[in-house]
Structure 1
C-alpha cells in the first residue's frame, strides 16, 4: 500500500492513465505483489537476503538524497538556509517527545513501546530468521547491531522530510500518507527520479518478500507440519511453502488497498493492529524463558483472552487511554493470566533446554559487541536529547550537549574496553592454571 501511494503520487498515475486514485492504488498494489511474490516464493530466503542487502544499500543512498534536496528546495537553493528555516520557524515540530494529546505520548516508551521493541528485535520472524541464519553468533550480532546503527538515521531519513513537507505544503494535503511522495515529486530533480524510484521499488519488494517468506515459514513449521504431517520431507514442505506463500500474497494484495480508510495514516493504523499479536507473542516468549512447567493450553487461552480484550478496549469501548498504554497493561495481564492458569495447567515433564550444540555453530561473542551496543544506546539518548526542548525543539544551541555526549562516549568505550580486556586475561590465566593441573 505504501509503495502504491508513493508511485501513484510521484508519477501522477491517475492523471497519466485517466483513472481514479483508488483504481491506481489497486493496480500498483497488484503489480508489486505479483513481482515480489514470484521472487519470494521461488527464490527462497537466500534470494530474499541477497536482494535485501542490495536494496538496502540503494535505499540508503536514495533515502539520503531526499533530505538533501528538500532542505535545498526549502532554502531556495541553499541547504544552510533550509536548515535555518526549520530550526528557527516552527521549531517546536522538532520535538520527539510526544505530548499527552499526541497520538504517541513520550510516556508510552515505558509501557507499550518498550514491549513492541522487545517484540521487534527478539521475536519478529523477519528479523530473527536472518540473525539465526548467520554462520556464527558473532556474525549474527554484527548484523543486528549494524541494523541498529541504520535505525538511528531514521529521524534524518524520514522525520526530516516530513518536517520539510510541513513547511512547504502546510495543511494542504488531504492524506498524511501523501506527504513523502508529494515532497519527492516536488524537490527531486527529474533525472534522479528514476533512480529513486528504483531504490524505492527495491525497498518495497524487500519488505514484501521478507514478510512473505517469514509468513510461509511460520505456516509450515508452526501449523502444517505439527498438525497435518509430522514426517513430511523437506521437498514436500518447500512445495507447501510455495502454495501457502501464494495464498498469503493474494490475501495481502486484496487487503492492502483497503488501508486507505485509515484516517490517522498508515503508521498508526498498523501500530494499532500490531497490538493484537505483538504483545501476546512477547509475553509467551518471556514466560517460556522464565518458566518450565506452564503448558500450551494456558498459552492459547491467554492469546484468545488478549485478542478479545484488546479489541474490546480499543475499538468497542474506546476507553480514554492511549492504545499503547493499553498494550503495556495487557502485557502484564497476559503474564499474570499465564502464571495463574499455569498453577494447574502444567506440562507432564518440565521443559529443559538442550545443552548440546547440535548445529556446531561458533557461539563466541563478537569482541566489539559491548562497545558498539553502548555507542548505540548513547546515540539513541543523544538523538532524543537534541530533538527535545533542551535541544533544537527549544531553540537552543547544541554545543554543551555535544561536549557532554562526547565525554560520555569516549569515557564509556575506554571503561568497556579495559574491563573486557581484564576479563579475557582472567579467563586465559584460569585456562593456563587448569592446563597445568591436568598435566601434573
Structure 2
C-alpha cells in the first residue's frame, strides 16, 4: 500500500491530490446545499460543529466500504481486472442468492431515486424562489410558482438523462475517475467565489457573478474537452484532472482579482457588521483533534504497507 504515489503516476500523483483535492473539498463541504443546510439547521453552534465532526468520522468508513468489495472481487475473480467498473455487480450476481440480488438491486434503486429526487427538488426550489420569483416575477401566484417548479424539474431530469448517456460514451477512464473528474470541473468557480467572499472584503458582486457564469462555462468547457472532445484515450495529453481543477481555480482567482480592481462601478453602501466571537468548547476541540490524529495515523500506516 502506498497512498502517496509518485508525481509521475498516471492514476493519483501526490502533487495533483495535494493541490486539487482542497478545491473539491471546499466546494462540497462548504457550499453544497446538502452539507450547508444540515449544519445551519442545527439548534446551536456546538451541535453543528459536533455533527460536522461526526460526519468526518463516518467518512473514514468510506475507504473500506468502497475498496474492500473490489479487492474481494479481484481475489475471487481475477478476470475482472479487465473490466473493473463491473466488479461490484459481478460480485453480487455470482455470490448472492437470487432473492438477495433482488434486494440489493431494489436498495440501489431506492438510494439512487432518493438522491436524484433531492437534487431535482433543490434545483427547482433554488431556481423558482431565488431567480424566478425574486428577479422576474415577484408578484407570481402559487399556481405560477408550482408550474415553473415542475418545468424546471422536468428540464433537470432531461439534462440528467442526457448526461448519463454522455458519460456512457466516455472511453479510457474508469467510472470512479469519471465522476471525480466531473466534480473537479464543477468545483473551481464555487470554491473561488466562496473563498474570495469570505477572505477578501473588496470582492465585488460583478466579479462574483462573472465567475459563476463565465467562469463556470470556462471550467465546464475544459471538462468537455478533457472527457469527450480530446480524450486521453485518443492520445491527447492532459494533466491529472485534480491538477486541472487547481489550475482552473488559479485562473479564476486571477480573473476575480482583475475584475474587482478594474470594476469602476463599485457595490453600493454596505453595513459594517461587527464580528461575533463564538467559543468552541473543549470537548468539540478534542473531537477535532481525535479525528486529525486518526487521519494522520491512517496515512502513515497505509503508506508503505
TM-score class normalised by the smaller sequence: 0.7 to 0.9
Partner residue in 1 for 2:254: 336
With the length of structure 2 as denominator, give the TM-score of the two structures: 0.81
Unaligned residue ranges in structure 1 (runs of 5+): 1-93, 358-362, 392-440
Cα offset, 1:142, TM superposition: 3.3
For residues 352 and 187 of structure 1, the distance between their equivalents in structure 2, rounded to whole angstroms, comes to: 64
For residues 350 and 292 of structure 1, the distance between their equivalents in structure 2, rounded to whole angstroms, comes to: 13
Partner residue in 1 for 2:233: none
Question: Where do residues 20-419 of structure 1 align in structure 2 (5 Å cutoff)?
Answer: 94-99=1-6, 100-172=8-80, 175-190=83-98, 192-232=100-140, 237=145, 240-263=148-171, 264-303=173-212, 304-305=214-215, 307-308=217-218, 311-312=221-222, 315=226, 319-345=237-263, 346-349=265-268, 351-352=270-271, 368-389=283-304, 391=305
Cα offset, 1:234, TM superposition: 7.1
For residues 319 and 225 of structure 1, the distance between their equivalents in structure 2, rounded to whole angstroms, comes to: 46
Q: 1:127 is paired with a residue of what secondary structure?
A: helix
Aligned CA distance change for structure 1 residues 294 and 202 (closer, same or farther; 3 Å): same
Aligned CA distance change for structure 1 residues 145 and 312 (closer, same or farther; 3 Å): closer
Q: 2:185 is paired with a residue of what secondary structure?
A: coil
Cα offset, 1:103, TM superposition: 2.4
Aligned CA distance change for structure 1 residues 339 and 234 (closer, same or farther; 3 Å): farther
Mapped contact 1:126–1:211 kept (Cα < 8 A):
no
Aligned CA distance change for structure 1 residues 109 and 221 (closer, same or farther; 3 Å): farther
Cα offset, 1:365, TM superposition: 5.2
For residues 41 and 148 of structure 2, the distance between their equivalents in structure 1, rounded to whole angstroms, comes to: 21
Unaligned residue ranges in structure 2 (runs of 5+): 231-235
- Bigger Cα Rg: 1
Aligned CA distance change for structure 1 residues 235 and 364 (closer, same or farther; 3 Å): farther
Aligned CA distance change for structure 1 residues 101 and 287 (closer, same or farther; 3 Å): same
Mapped contact 2:80–2:87 kept (Cα < 8 A):
no
| Structural RMSD (CA) | 3.1
Cα offset, 1:271, TM superposition: 2.3
Q: Report which structure shows greater RCO (CA 8 Å, sep ≥6).
A: 2
For residues 139 and 232 of structure 1, the distance between their equivalents in structure 2, rounded to whole angstroms, comes to: 38
